[in-house]
C-alpha cells in the first residue's frame, strides 16, 4: 500500500516520499515539485473520501496517483492520503465506521513514524555538520540554511565603530563586502526598528535575491556591547516563513558561535598585553618593535606601524613597522610633515580614528609610506595615540586577513577595534612613563650643567623620580606575571569553572594595576611639580578622593589586608582650589602610607572632611591605626629622606620622600599638610583653601 | 616533585608564583609575615626549596635593631644555621651589592632580581626541576 505523506513545513506541505531520507544533502533531495502551498489543502477534512481526479487537481498534477480514491487523514502537522481499493469500505464483513477508523489509525501511525525518522535524520545531519565545524561561519550558515530548506543565506555584522555592515558569510559573494547606510537602507531600518524577525518578499533584485521569492531576516545580538548581526535566509517559495522553533535555534546557535569567536580575539589581546608586559623603562624602541609584530600576528593584519611625533610636534616619524619585509625596526627614515595631506597625518591632526574598507578606490588614501603586504592594499585603520589630551602619534594597521588554508583579506570586525583601543590605552600609558623618564634624564643632564640655583630643582626631580619608580614597580611586575598566569590557564585543553574563576581574578588584578598605572602616569607629572597649574575649583569628593579611592581601595585591601572607607556626609558638596593632579598625588601618598603602615593592625583607615572655624580652609583627614610616630619626630617626619623610627625598625621599605614632597606641594597650594595625632589614630590633615588665594576665581 | 616554601609579602606576586609552582606539580607553602617565619623555622627541613624575598617587614619576633640588615638576610642566617645545604632562591628588589651578605658567594643560593618577568619565572621553574 502506498501512502502519500505531506509534512507541514512553514506554510508549505512537503511530500515525504521514499526518496527523501533527510541526510546531509537534504536540500538537493527536495526539488521544488515536492512543495505545496497550504492553501491547496484547505477544505480537506479528516476522514473524507477523495477521488483521484480531485486529488490530482489539488496536487497540481505533480504527483503520480496510482489509486482511484484516497482517505484523508488530517493532523495538525501533516496529511496522509491512504489509497483505497474500490468498494473496500462497503465490504459487509466489517462495519463501515470501524473500518474507516482503523485505516485512519494506520495512516496516522505511518505518518508519525516516518516523520520522526525524517526529523531525526535531519537533526543528526545538522548536528554532525555543525560539530565538525570549528572556524568557519560560512559552513555553519550553509548547514543551517539547508536545515530550514532555504536556498541562500547571508550574515552581515554591524560594526558600531565604523557604522558599516560587514559581510561575514554569504552563499553568493556580494560585489561589496561592506555596506553603508547610503548603499542599502533595509539593514539599517531593520536594525533600528528593534524587530527580531522579518519575513517578506525581497525588496529588489540583486545577485543573491535573483530567483528568490521570499526573505527571512533574523536579528542577532552578540554579547553585551551592542554588536548586532543580521542573518538572512532566502527561499524560492513565496511566504516561506521560518517556524519560531527554528528561528530560536538559529539565533541561539549563531550568537553563541560569535561569542566563541570573540573569546578567541580576547585571547589574542591577552597575548599582545603579555608581550607588552616585557616593557622596561627607557627602552621603548625595543618595546614598540615587538609590539607591532605581535599586533600583526595576534590580530591578523598584514602590516602594522607606529608613528610618533617629534619633539617640536611638527613631524610624524616612523618608529616601528611590521610587514612583509620588516619585523620591527624601520630600514629607512620616514617622516611625515603634519601640514601635508595624508591619511596618517589626518588621524594625528584630527585625533579621530579613520578607516577604509577599500583603499584602492578611497579618494582619501594618500600615503607617503606604504607597507609592503602580501595582498594588494585593501583595508586600513589608523588610530590616534591620544591620552589625557596629549597626542603621541598614530598606530595603523593594514589588510585584515583570515588564516584558513589560503590567506584571504577580510573586513575588520568590531573586536578588532576593541582590541586596538585596549592596546592603545596600554601603549599611551607606557609612552607617558617613557616621556617622564626621558624628561628626567634630560632635565637632570641640563640641570647638572648649570649649577647653583637649580640644585633645589634637581633634588626635587630626583626625589620625584624615585617616588615614581617606586609606584610603578608593582603594577609592572603584576602585568608581567598575571598575564603569564592567564596564558597558562588558557593553554590547557579544558577550561574548568575553577580555572575560569582564576582567569577572572587575574583579569581583575590586571585591571586594578592598569588603573593604577594610568593614574600614576596621569598624575605624576614633572612639569606640574615645577610649575603649578593655575588653581581650579575642585570637588573634594569627585576630584580628589574618588580618583584615589578607585585605584587604591582594592589594592590596599588585597595587599595590606586593611579596609578603607570615607565617612559619608563630611566630603560631599565641598569645594576647594588647587591643582587636581598634585592633590591626587598628595592624597594617594597618605592613603598608601596608611595602608602600608597599618597592615595587620585590623583597624580600617578612615577618611573624612572638616572645616576650620572661619570656614576659610577645608581639612581632608586620613586616619590610621598603624605604627606610632614618636613625639620628637613630629617635625622630622616631613624632612626629606626621613622615615619614622618604628617604620624604619620594621624595615617597611619606602623612600622617605612621600611626606616631604606632599608637604612641599601643599605649601605651594597656600595650604598645608599637618600631623595632628601621633598614635591611635595617626592623623594627617590636608589643609585646602576654599577660596582662590591667587585672587582669581 | 619538590616541596617549596615561599617567603614573600607581596600578595599579587605570591599568588602568581604559587600558581606557576603548583602548575608544575610541586607543592607550595607561603609565609607572608616575619612572625610566621620565625615561629615555624624548626619545620623548614621538609622543604626542598625556599624562595626568599629580602625586603620584608620585621614583625614582633625579631630583636635586631640594626636597620642596615634586611629582614630576609636575618631569615637567611637563621635558616643556614639550621639547614646548611638547603637550596635557597633569593628574590630581591634591592641591589644585591647593597646587602650585608654577599649572596653571590654563598653556596646553594640562586639570585633572581625583581621585577619578575617571563624569562625569570621560567628560570626559577627550571631551578625547581
What residues of chain A lie within 8 A of the CB of B19, using their CB? 485, 488, 502
Task: Give every CB contact of residue A627 below 8 A, 6+ residues apart in sequence.
Answer: A597, A598, A644, A646, A647, A650, A652, A682
pLDDT of residue A405: 67
Q: How many helices (H) and strands (E) does chain A have?
A: 16, 27
Q: How far apart are CA B45 and CA A133, in angstroms?
A: 54
For residue range A342-362, what is the model confidence (pLDDT) as tens digits? 888 889 988 888 888 888 888
Task: Please indicate if any CB of chain A lies within 8 Å of the CB of B12.
Answer: yes
What residues of chain A lie within 8 A of the CB of B15, using their CB? 509
Q: Which three cell numbers stand for residue A257?
A: 558561535
Whether A333 has a pLDDT exceeding 80, the answer reads: yes
Task: Please indicate if any CB of chain B lies within 8 Å of the CB of A478.
Answer: yes
B58 vs A599, A600, A649: nearest CB:
A649
In chain A, which residue's Cα lies nearest the Cα of B54? A651
By C-alpha distance, which of B66, B71, B69 is closest to B56? B71
Q: How far apart are CA B20 and CA A394, in angstroms?
A: 37
Task: Please indicate if any CB of chain B lies within 8 Å of the CB of A692.
Answer: no
pLDDT band per the 50, 70, 90 thresholds, residue B21: very high
Task: Identify the top-confidence range among A81-90, A127-136, A497-506.
Answer: A497-506
Between A596 and A517, residue with greater pLDDT: A596
Of A93-97, A406-410, B69-73, give the lowest mean pLDDT range. A93-97
Pairwise CB contact (< 8 Å): A559 & B16 = no
Pairwise CB contact (< 8 Å): A600 & B71 = no
Section A57-73 average pLDDT = 87
pLDDT of residue A481: 81
pLDDT of residue A640: 82
Section A554-571 average pLDDT = 90
- The percentage of residues in chain A with a pLDDT greater than 70, rounded to a whole number, is 89
Section B27-52 average pLDDT = 94
For residue range A611-631, what is the model confidence (pLDDT) as tens digits? 999 989 999 999 999 999 999
pLDDT of residue A697: 38
ipTM: 0.85
Task: Give every CB contact of residue A284 below 8 A, 6+ residues apart in sequence.
Answer: A430, A431, A434
A99, A91 Cβ separation under 8 angstroms: yes
Measuring CA to CA, how many Å separate A5 from each of A71, A77, A282, A556?
Answer: 12, 11, 79, 73
- Strand stretches in A27-147, DSSP E: 35-37, 49-51, 69-74, 78-84
pLDDT of residue B123: 92
pLDDT band per the 50, 70, 90 thresholds, residue A683: very high
Whether B40 has a pLDDT exceeding 90, the answer reads: yes
Task: Give every CB contact of residue A53 below 8 A, 6+ residues apart in sequence.
Answer: none
Whether A189 has a pLDDT exceeding 60, the answer reads: yes
What residues of chain A lie within 8 A of the CB of B118, using their CB? 274, 277-278, 480, 484
Q: Which three cell numbers stand for residue A465?
A: 623620580
By C-alpha distance, which of A471, A461, A387 is closest to A431? A387
A484, B16 Cβ separation under 8 angstroms: yes
Task: Please indicate if any CB of chain B lies within 8 Å of the CB of A482.
Answer: yes
Q: How far apart are CA A684 and CA A7, in angstroms?
A: 82
pLDDT of residue A696: 44
Across chain A, mean pLDDT equals 83
Of A290-294, A482-486, A521-525, B53-57, give the lowest mean pLDDT range. A521-525
Whether A128 has a pLDDT exceeding 80, the answer reads: no
Task: Please indicate if any CB of chain A lies within 8 Å of the CB of B48.
Answer: no
Pairwise CB contact (< 8 Å): A559 & B20 = no
> How many cross-chain Cβ pairs, A to B, lie less than 8 Å apart?
71
Task: Please indicate if any CB of chain A lies within 8 Å of the CB of B22.
Answer: no
For residue range A376-390, what is the model confidence (pLDDT) as tens digits? 998 999 999 987 678
Between A191 and A436, residue with greater pLDDT: A191
- Stretch (H or E) spanning A56: helix A52-58
Whether B86 has a pLDDT exceeding 90, the answer reads: yes
A84, A70 Cβ separation under 8 angstroms: yes
pLDDT band per the 50, 70, 90 thresholds, residue A340: confident
Pairwise CB contact (< 8 Å): B65 & A649 = yes
By C-alpha distance, which of A396, A341, A334, A383 is closest to A365? A341
pLDDT of residue A90: 57
B55, B72 Cβ separation under 8 angstroms: yes
**Interface-testing mutation among B9, B14, B15, B91, with chain A (most A C-beta atoms within 10 A):** B15
Section B12-22 average pLDDT = 91
Whether B109 has a pLDDT exceeding 50, the answer reads: yes
- The percentage of residues in chain A with a pLDDT greater than 90, rounded to a whole number, is 24
Residue carrying C-alpha cell 635593631:
B65
pLDDT band per the 50, 70, 90 thresholds, residue A538: very high
Residue carrying C-alpha cell 588621524:
A347
- Stretch (H or E) spanning A319: strand A315-322
- Rounded to the nearest angstrom, the minimum Cα separation between B2 and chain A is 20
First to last CA, chain A: 100
pLDDT of residue B89: 95
Whether A496 has a pLDDT exceeding 90, the answer reads: no
The pTM for the full model equals 0.53
Of A60-64, A306-310, A334-338, A455-459, give the lowest mean pLDDT range. A455-459
Whether A678 has a pLDDT exceeding 90, the answer reads: yes
Task: Please indicate if any CB of chain A lies within 8 Å of the CB of B19.
Answer: yes
What residues of chain A lie within 8 A of the CB of B93, using their CB? 473
If contacts are CB pairs under 8 Å, which of residues 70-129 in chain B contact chain A? 70-71, 93, 114-118, 121
Whether A94 has a pLDDT exceeding 70, the answer reads: no
B62-82: burial string, b at 16+ Cβ within 10 Å, e else: beeeeeebbbbbbbbeebbee
Residue carrying C-alpha cell 607606557:
A430
For residue range A227-255, what is the model confidence (pLDDT) as tens digits? 889 999 999 888 888 988 889 989 988 88
A356 three-state secondary structure: strand
Q: How far apart are CA A516 and CA A472, in angstroms?
A: 8
pLDDT of residue B45: 92
By C-alpha distance, which of A296, A243, A338, A203 is closest to A11? A243
Q: How far apart are CA A548 and CA A543, in angstroms?
A: 9
Amino acid at each position: 500500500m502506498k501512502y502519500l505523506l505531506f509534512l507541514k513545513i512553514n506554510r508549505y506541505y512537503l511530500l515525504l516520499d521514499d526518496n527523501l531520507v533527510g541526510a546531509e544533502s537534504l536540500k538537493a533531495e527536495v526539488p521544488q515539485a515536492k512543495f505545496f502551498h497550504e492553501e491547496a489543502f484547505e477544505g480537506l477534512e479528516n476522514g473524507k473520501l477523495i477521488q483521484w481526479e480531485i486529488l490530482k487537481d489539488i496536487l497540481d498534477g505533480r504527483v503520480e496517483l496510482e489509486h482511484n480514491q484516497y482517505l484523508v487523514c488530517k493532523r495538525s502537522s501533516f496529511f496522509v492520503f491512504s489509497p483505497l481499493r474500490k468498494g473496500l469500505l462497503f465490504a459487509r464483513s466489517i462495519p463501515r465506521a470501524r473500518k474507516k477508523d482503523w485505516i485512519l489509525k494506520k495512516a496516522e501511525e505511518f505518518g508519525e513514524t516516518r516523520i520522526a525518522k525524517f526529523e531525526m535524520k535531519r537533526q543528526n545531519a545538522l548536528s554532525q555538520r555543525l560539530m565538525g565545524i570549528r572556524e568557519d561561519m560560512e559552513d555553519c550558515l550553509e548547514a543551517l540554511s539547508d536545515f530550514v530548506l532555504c536556498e541562500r543565506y547571508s550574515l552581515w555584522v554591524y560594526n558600531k565603530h565604523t557604522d558599516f555592515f560587514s559581510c561575514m558569510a554569504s552563499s553568493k559573494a556580494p560585489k561589496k563586502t561592506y555596506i553603508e547606510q547610503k548603499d542599502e537602507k533595509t539593514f539599517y531600518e531593520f536594525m533600528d526598528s528593534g524587530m527580531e524577525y522579518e519575513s517578506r518578499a525581497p525588496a529588489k533584485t540583486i545577485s543573491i535575491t535573483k530567483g528568490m521569492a521570499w526573505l527571512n531576516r533574523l536579528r542577532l545580538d552578540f554579547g553585551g556591547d551592542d554588536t548586532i548581526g543580521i542573518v538572512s535566509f532566502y527561499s524560492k517559495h513565496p511566504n516561506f516563513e521560518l517556524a519560531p522553533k527554528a528561528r530560536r535555534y538559529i539565533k541561539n546557535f549563531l550568537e553563541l558561535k560569535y561569542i566563541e569567536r570573540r573569546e578567541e580575539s580576547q585571547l589574542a589581546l591577552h597575548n599582545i598585553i603579555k608581550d607588552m608586559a616585557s616593557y622596561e623603562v627607557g627602552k621603548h624602541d625595543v618595546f614598540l618593535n615587538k609590539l607591532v609584530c605581535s599586533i600583526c600576528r595576534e590580530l591578523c593584519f598584514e602590516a602594522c606601524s607606529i608613528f610618533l611625533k617629534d619633539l617640536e610636534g611638527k613631524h610624524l616619524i616612523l618608529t616601528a613597522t611590521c610587514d612583509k619585509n620588516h619585523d620591527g625596526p624601520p630600514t629607512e627614515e620616514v617622516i611625515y610633515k603634519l601640514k601635508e595631506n595624508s591619511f596618517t597625518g589626518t588621524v594625528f591632526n584630527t585625533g579621530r580614528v579613520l578607516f577604509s574598507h577599500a583603499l584602492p578606490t578611497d579618494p582619501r588614501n594618500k600615503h607617503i609610506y606604504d607597507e609592503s603586504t602580501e595582498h594588494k592594499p585593501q583595508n586600513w585603520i589608523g588610530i590616534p595615540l591620544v591620552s589625557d589630551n596629549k597626542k603621541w602619534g598614530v598606530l595603523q594597521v593594514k589588510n585584515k586577513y583570515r588564516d584558513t588554508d589560503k590567506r584571504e583579506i577580510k573586513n575588520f570586525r568590531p573586536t578588532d577595534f576593541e582590541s586596538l583601543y585596549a592596546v592603545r590605552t596600554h601603549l599611551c600609558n607606557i609612552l607617558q612613563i617613557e616621556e617622564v623618564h626621558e624628561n628626567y634624564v634630560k632635565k637632570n643632564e641640563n640641570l647638572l650643567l648649570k649649577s647653583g640655583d637649580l640644585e633645589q630643582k634637581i633634588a626635587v626631580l630626583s626625589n620625584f623620580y624615585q617616588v615614581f619608580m617606586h609606584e610603578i614597580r608593582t603594577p609592572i611586575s603584576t602585568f608581567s606575571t598575571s598575564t603569564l598566569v592567564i596564558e597558562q590557564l588558557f593553554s590547557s585543553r579544558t577550561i574548568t569553572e575553577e580555572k575560569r574563576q582564576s582567569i577572572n581574578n587575574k583579569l581583575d588584578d590586571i585591571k586594578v594595576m592598569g588603573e593604577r598605572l594610568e593614574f600614576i602616569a596621569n598624575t605624576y607629572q614633572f612639569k606640574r611639580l615645577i610649575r603649578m597649574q593655575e588653581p581650579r575649583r575642585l570637588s573634594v569628593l569627585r576630584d580628589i578622593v574618588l580618583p584615589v579611592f578607585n585605584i587604591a581601595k582594592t589594592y590596599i585591601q588585597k595587599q595590606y589586608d586593611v579596609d578603607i572607607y570615607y565617612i559619608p556626609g563630611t566630603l560631599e558638596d565641598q569645594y576647594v582650589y588647587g591643582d587636581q593632579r598634585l592633590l591626587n598625588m598628595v592624597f594617594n601618598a597618605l592613603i598608601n602610607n596608611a595602608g602600608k603602615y597599618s597592615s595587620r593592625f585590623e583597624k580600617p583607615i578612615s577618611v573624612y572632611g572638616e572645616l576650620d572655624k572661619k570656614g576659610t580652609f577645608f581639612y581632608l583627614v586620613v586616619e590610621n591605626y598603624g605604627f606610632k610616630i614618636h613625639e620628637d619626630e613630629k617635625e622630622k617626619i616631613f624632612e626629606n629622606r626621613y622615615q619614622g623610627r618604628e617604620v624604619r625598625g620594621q624595615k617597611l621599605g619606602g623612600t622617605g620622600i612621600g611626606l616631604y614632597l606632599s608637604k612641599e606641594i601643599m605649601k605651594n597650594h597656600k595650604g598645608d599638610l599637618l600631623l595632628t595625632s601621633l598614635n591611635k589614630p595617626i592623623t594627617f590633615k590636608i589643609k585646602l583653601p576654599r577660596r582662590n588665594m591667587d585672587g582669581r576665581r | 616533585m619538590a616541596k617549596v616554601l615561599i617567603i614573600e609579602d607581596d600578595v599579587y606576586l605570591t599568588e602568581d608564583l604559587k600558581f606557576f609552582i603548583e602548575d608544575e606539580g610541586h607543592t607550595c607553602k607561603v609565609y607572608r609575615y616575619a612572625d610566621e617565619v620565625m615561629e615555624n623555622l624548626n619545620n623548614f627541613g621538609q622543604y626542598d626549596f625556599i624562595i626568599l624575598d629580602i625586603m620584608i617587614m620585621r614583625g614582633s619576633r625579631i630583636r635586631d635593631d640594626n636597620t642596615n640588615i634586611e629582614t630576609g638576610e636575618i631569615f637567611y642566617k637563621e635558616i643556614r644555621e639550621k639547614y646548611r645545604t638547603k637550596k635557597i632562591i633569593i628574590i630581591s628588589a634591592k641591589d644585591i651589592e647593597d646587602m650585608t651578605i654577599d649572596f653571590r658567594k654563598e653556596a646553594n643560593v640562586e639570585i633572581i632580581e625583581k621585577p619578575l618577568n617571563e624569562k625569570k619565572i621560567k628560570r626559577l621553574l627550571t631551578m625547581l626541576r
